[in-house]
Each structure stands twice: as structure tokens, then as C-alpha cells.
């Protein structure tokens, strides 16, 4: 099996080089279904060292080898800052303040999780600079400066020697892009270019700001949950990759570009340390890997796995909070049952309070957003249409359209509660099991969730029948709404606006409700919940679709990225050079 290469422990880079042997919690994937013949990854049994002697400390919880490895990784996994005596990049605070404000405005119009913003900014900067510098030569300096201006990196924290390092990464990926896209159809070339730009931005971020702790937690959750899932009559490795993607999406809250990078790094671990001169070695298999990774995002069981992982996340989230709140004595807490129980209760109460505050903020913001946009719609669409069709303003439809969606949102938020003490007890019991139980023990994974069996056994007749029933629910839900609106004198324009906002508000309200379930171990359903959900699903489905389409057609993003940003950042560069010139002249006077 000469074409088999093992997954090794991941290496993480800090400013001083490579941190070896930090992450002992690793995951094993043989590779994808219908994988290319020349690319295979076999299971490797990586030893994990016990880092705590329970007997000598006299503590009463014996943790699994994975839990021990997580503690070890957390303690050792903080990247060391670069030495104080090496030159570092410094930018003007005046320019930085202006750039910081701009980035705040830019990020406000496109929601992302906080930890995903920097990578997206790197990708955006690279794409903009490609317009004037198609080969990416010499852009690392300005790229890093832009990150410092916008305070994505702390000023005076990035060594000057990082510039050639980042430029080397850029050269590597640009050479790969030029070689792999040549002669391909335009659509295929666009997809490959986007894929490569996502990998490039992720590797640059990892080199500038490595985060082995985050990687360790993701791998830990994967290791614990992987044995609890089985695919019906499918290879083990196919399940493994889907569990990993589900953990990345739900626990790490990674976006598709970051997941693609992590998968790519698993399949080609040597690529991280390559230069552009080495890229020719991987060209024959790069396209196959690209297609295989893209295919895995559309696996028929992927969404079911994501929901399974999400329902089991609460103990892992509390565990992560425990680590972050107690970095200096986390080992002592996790090995002592009484301390673990006390700290779990403390963290849970804090998180429940934060959840309540988050719900209120989300509700208020959504209420204001809905009212303001409804006023705009009323002035721009409903009132002119009423005047054109009837010669007068129909005040009832306008008033209903103005206030009803906002009141629906307020009602949804007010009915949402946060978990209580019973939930905390369940979290503690689950957490203790997770820490102590060895996922490799067959007894620990005897009660598996089996996916794929139902889909195989469901007859074509039942599938068609269920689809027809869902279609009837769709017709009934929207038919009832249109009938009531027509009875109230709504014209077609007012009805369309009402449906538009009702579906969006219902979807946003549902998303807000999910905030309250983040730390909830068990989501209890009432007896009538399935019936209500059945008629609500069509409205939620339309709202989700509209939300996705609106986000793709965000005019403000186009204005910021292509009209404002380029001249704005060019002005920053001129100002930065001017301040540098003045600084040098002042030093010459001394």
C-alpha cells in the first residue's frame, strides 16, 4: 500500500516556528467514499500520554486518556509571543483608528461569528489587491499592515520576519492557482480559484494567529461523539468525515471555508510546509481532493448529523467555559468531583444570565430593524400602490403590515425562557460521563445513533405520500393567510409584503429561540408541538430561503467592497507612508 499516507499529529505554528507534539487529541479518517485511487489516508493509532497521577494527588475522578490529553494541550497550547528584542511591525494609531471604524461598519452589514471575521477580512483584502497585482508579488507587507490598522492583530506584535513568511504562503497558493486553473472552463476555474483563496486566507491566519486550543477542543468533541454514531451499511471512514464536519459546524462554529482548509490540511499535511517550488508534487491529486471535499458538504446524512451534534453540545460548551475560566487549576477541578460540581453550577448560572441578556438584545435589535424596514416598504411600495389602484391609502393593511410582524417578534422573544437548575444537574452528569468514559471502550458506545437505515427502508409510496402531505400543509398555511388578508381588504402588494415579513420574522424568531437551547441538555416538546410544527414548517422554509437570497443580494456589501474600500485603503497607505516619513525626519533631527 505505497499510496497510503497516515494522518500525523497536527503541527501548529507560532511566530518563532513550529510547536511540535502539542495536540495529542487527534482524529483518524481513512478518507472519502469514492476516493481517488492515488489519495488514501489510513487509521493511525497515536499514543496519548496520561499527564496527571491520580493516586499521588488523592483525587477521585479518573479521566479518560482523551480528557488528559485535552488538559495537557490546553496547558501547553498557548503560542508563545515573539522575543521582545526582534523588530516588529508598527502602524500609525491615527490611521488605525480610521481603519478600525471602517471595518466595524463593514462587518456590521454581514454577520459572522467573531472568530471568523479575521479570515474573511484576509480573503477580502487579497481579492481587492489582486485587481492591481494579479500575481500577488510583494503584497504580504500591505496585507499585514491592513490587519494591524483594523486591529485584527495587536500593533507591535507581528515580527517583521513574518512578511517573507506570509509572502511565501501567497506565492505557493498563487503558483498552485495558475497551474491548476489553466485551460479549464470558466465556471470550473472560478470554483477552483475561490477554493484556493479560502485555503490561502485560512493558512495565513493560522500562521499569524495560531490557536491550538480551539483545534484541541474540536478534536476532543469529535473523539467523544464519533463512536456514538453509525451509518447504515456505509464505510466507517464516510461516517468519520461527516461527524468531523458536523462538529466543526456546530461546536467550533466554523464556516465552510475554514472546514475546507482543515480537511485539506488533513489530506495533504505536507502542503503546509511546502514552498511554491514543491507544489508540482501535489498537482496530480489536487483536483481530486478538491472535488472530494466539495462533495462531502452535500452528504444526504450531513444535516441529521449536525442536529445530533447540536443536541449533545451543552456539556462540551460548559467544559470549554470551565477551561477558559480556570486556566491555572483546570486539572485540579476536573479530577475532583466536588470542585467539578461546584464550578459547573457556577458556569451554568453565569451562562444562563448571559443567554437571557443575549435574547433581550437580539429581540430589541430585531424589533427595531423590522419596524424601520417596514416603514421603508410602506412608503416605497404599499402606499404608492394603494394610491395608484384605488386613489386612496388603505390604512388598515398599512397599519397591520407595520406593527404585526414586530409584535410577532416581540411575542416570540417574550415566550422564550432560559434553562434552570434541573438542566444544570443534567449537564453535570453528562459532563462527568464525558470526562471519565473512554470513547474507545466498546461498552461506552453500545447505544449508537444509526443513520441511513430509515431512508433505505422507507418505501417510494410513503415518500411520495409524505411529500404530498407537506405540500398540502404548505397550501393550507399560506392559503389561510391569503384568505384572511383578502377578507381584511389587503391588495396583492400588501399581501406580498405581509407574507414577506411574516416568513422572515418567523425564521428570525426561530433562530433567536435557538439561543436559549444552546446550553439546554434536553429540549422538551409539548403534546401538540409536532402538530404546530407541521403547519409552521412551510412558513419557516420560505423565511429561510428568503433570508439566504437577501444575504446574497446585499447591496451594501457590494458598495463597501468595490466602491468604498479600495480608495479608502489607498488613502490609508498614503497616510501611513507620510507618518513614517515624518517619523524618520524627526529622528534625523535628534
**Which tens digits make up the pLDDT trace of 103-161?**
776 666 666 788 999 999 999 999 988 878 888 888 999 899 989 988 888 888 899 99
Instruction: Say what the pLDDT of residue 562 is.
Output: 54
C-alpha dist (Å) from residue 496 to 62, 474, 484, 576: 61, 16, 13, 51
Q: Is residue 58 domain-resident?
A: no
- At 46, is the pLDDT very low, low, confident or very high (cuts 50, 70, 90)? very low
Q: Is residue 436 domain-resident?
A: yes
Q: Is residue 323 domain-resident?
A: no
Over residues 50-62, the mean pLDDT reads: 50
Phi then psi for residue 219, to 5 deg, are -65, -35
In the chain, % of residues over pLDDT 90: 31
Position 375 pLDDT exceeds 80: no
Q: Is residue 116 domain-resident?
A: no
State which residues form the domain around 498.
Answer: 337-552
| Exposure on the CB side of residue 161, measured as CA atoms within 13 A | 9
Q: Is residue 527 domain-resident?
A: yes
C-alpha dist (Å) from residue 251 to 61, 92, 112, 130, 235: 25, 37, 15, 34, 24
Q: Is residue 227 domain-resident?
A: no
pLDDT in tens, 191-216: 999 999 999 999 999 999 998 899 88
Distance CA 42, CA 28 (A): 8
CA terminus-to-terminus distance, the chain: 69
Distance CA 172, CA 167 (A): 9
pLDDT in tens, 421-473: 999 999 999 999 999 998 888 776 666 677 765 544 455 666 677 778 878 88
Over residues 489-516, the mean pLDDT reads: 81
Burial class (CB in 10 A: 0-12, 13-18, 19+), 3: exposed
Q: Is residue 256 domain-resident?
A: no
Q: Is residue 76 domain-resident?
A: no
What does pTM read for this prediction? Answer: 0.75
Distance CA 368, CA 406 (A): 8
DSSP H stretches of helix in 282-329: 283-296, 302-311, 314-325
Single out the residue of 427, 157, 464, 149 nearest to residue 313, CA to CA.
427
Residue keyed to cell 480551539: 214
Phi then psi for residue 157, to 5 deg, are -125, -15
Three-state DSSP at 432 gives helix
Number of domains present in the structure of the chain:
1
Residue keyed to cell 489587491: 129
Q: Tell me the pairing of strands 229-231 and 449-451.
A: parallel
Instruction: Answer for the pair 175, 276: CB distance below 8 angstroms, yes or no.
Output: yes
Q: Tell me the pairing of strands 17-19 and 229-231.
A: unpaired
Instruction: Name the residue with higher pLDDT: 393 or 87.
Output: 87
Distance CA 375, CA 512 (A): 23
Instruction: Answer for the pair 18, 12: CB distance below 8 angstroms, yes or no.
Output: yes
Instruction: Answer for the pair 449, 232: CB distance below 8 angstroms, yes or no.
Output: no
Query: What angle, rounded to 10 degrees, do the helices at 186-208 and 256-267 form?
Result: 80
Instruction: Answer for the pair 451, 234: CB distance below 8 angstroms, yes or no.
Output: no
CB atoms within 10 A of CB 67: 28
Distance CA 257, CA 197 (A): 9
Amino acid at each position: 500500500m505505497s499510496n497510503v499516507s497516515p494522518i500525523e499529529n497536527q503541527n501548529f505554528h507560532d511566530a518563532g516556528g513550529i510547536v511540535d507534539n502539542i495536540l495529542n487529541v487527534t482524529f483518524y479518517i481513512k478518507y472519502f467514499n469514492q476516493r481517488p485511487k492515488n489519495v488514501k489516508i489510513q487509521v493511525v493509532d497515536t499514543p496519548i500520554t496520561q499527564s496527571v497521577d491520580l493516586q499521588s494527588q488523592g483525587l477521585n475522578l479518573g479521566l479518560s486518556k482523551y480528557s488528559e490529553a485535552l488538559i495537557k494541550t490546553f496547558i501547553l497550547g498557548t503560542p508563545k509571543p515573539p522575543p521582545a528584542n526582534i523588530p516588529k511591525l508598527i502602524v500609525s494609531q491615527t490611521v488605525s483608528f480610521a481603519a478600525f471604524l471602517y471595518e466595524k461598519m463593514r462587518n456590521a452589514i454581514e454577520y459572522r461569528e467573531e472568530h471568523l471575521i479575521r479570515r474573511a477580512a484576509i480573503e477580502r483584502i487579497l481579492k481587492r489587491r489582486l485587481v492591481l497585482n494579479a500575481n500577488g508579488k510583494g503584497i504580504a507587507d500591505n496585507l499585514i499592515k491592513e490587519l494591524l490598522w483594523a486591529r485584527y492583530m495587536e500593533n507591535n506584535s507581528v515580527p517583521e520576519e513574518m512578511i517573507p513568511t506570509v509572502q511565501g504562503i501567497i506565492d505557493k497558493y498563487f503558483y498552485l492557482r495558475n497551474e491548476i486553473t489553466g485551460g479549464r472552463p470558466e465556471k470550473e476555474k472560478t470554483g477552483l480559484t475561490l477554493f484556493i483563496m479560502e485555503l490561502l486566507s485560512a493558512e495565513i491566519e493560522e500562521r499569524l494567529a495560531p490557536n491550538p486550543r480551539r483545534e484541541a477542543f474540536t478534536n476532543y468533541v469529535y473523539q467523544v461523539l464519533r463512536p456514538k454514531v453509525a451509518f447504515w451499511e456505509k464505510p466507517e471512514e464516510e461516517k468519520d468525515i461527516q461527524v468531523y464536519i458536523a462538529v466543526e459546524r456546530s461546536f467550533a462554529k466554523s464556516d465552510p471555508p475554514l472546514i475546507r482548509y482543515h480537511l485539506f490540511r488533513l489530506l495533504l499535511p505536507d502542503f503546509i510546509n511546502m514552498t511554491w517550488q514543491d507544489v508540482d508534487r501535489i498537482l496530480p491529486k489536487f483536483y481530486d481532493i478538491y472535488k472530494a471535499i466539495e462533495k462531502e458538504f452535500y452528504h444526504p446524512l450531513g444535516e441529521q448529523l449536525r442536529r445530533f451534534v447540536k443536541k449533545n453540545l451543552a456539556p462540551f460548551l460548559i467544559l470549554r467555559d470551565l477551561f477558559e475560566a480556570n486556566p491555572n487549576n483546570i486539572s485540579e477541578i476536573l479530577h475532583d468531583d466536588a470542585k467539578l460540581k461546584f464550578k459547573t453550577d457556577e458556569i451554568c448560572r453565569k451562562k444562563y444570565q448571559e443567554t437571557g441578556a443575549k435574547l433581550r438584545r437580539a429581540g430589541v435589535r430585531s424589533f427595531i430593524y423590522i419596524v424601520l424596514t417596514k416603514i421603508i416598504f410602506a412608503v416605497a411600495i404599499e402606499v404608492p400602490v394603494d394610491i395608484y389602484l384605488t386613489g386612496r391609502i388603505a390604512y388598515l393593511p398599512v397599519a397591520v403590515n407595520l406593527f404585526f410582524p414586530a409584535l410577532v417578534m416581540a411575542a416570540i422573544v417574550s415566550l422564550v425562557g432560559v434553562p434552570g437548575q434541573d438542566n444544570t444537574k443534567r449537564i453535570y452528569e453528562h459532563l462527568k460521563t464525558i470526562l471519565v468514559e473512554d470513547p474507545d471502550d466498546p461498552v461506552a458506545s453500545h447505544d449508537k445513533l444509526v443513520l441511513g437505515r430509515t431512508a433505505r427502508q422507507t418505501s417510494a409510496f410513503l415518500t411520495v405520500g409524505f411529500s404530498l402531505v407537506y405540500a398540502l400543509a404548505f397550501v393550507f398555511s399560506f392559503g389561510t393567510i391569503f384568505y384572511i388578508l383578502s377578507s381584511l381588504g389587503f391588495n396583492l402588494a400588501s399581501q406580498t409584503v405581509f407574507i414577506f415579513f411574516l416568513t422572515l420574522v418567523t425564521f428570525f424568531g426561530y433562530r433567536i429561540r435557538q439561543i436559549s437551547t444552546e446550553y439546554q441538555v434536553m429540549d422538551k416538546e409539548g403534546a401538540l408541538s409536532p402538530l404546530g410544527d407541521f403547519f409552521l414548517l412551510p412558513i419557516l422554509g420560505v423565511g429561510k430561503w428568503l433570508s439566504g437570497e437577501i444575504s446574497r443580494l446585499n447591496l451594501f456589501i457590494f458598495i463597501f467592497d468595490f466602491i468604498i474600500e479600495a480608495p479608502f485603503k489607498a488613502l490609508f497607505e498614503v497616510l501611513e507612508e507620510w507618518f513614517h516619513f515624518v517619523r524618520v525626519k524627526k529622528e534625523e533631527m535628534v
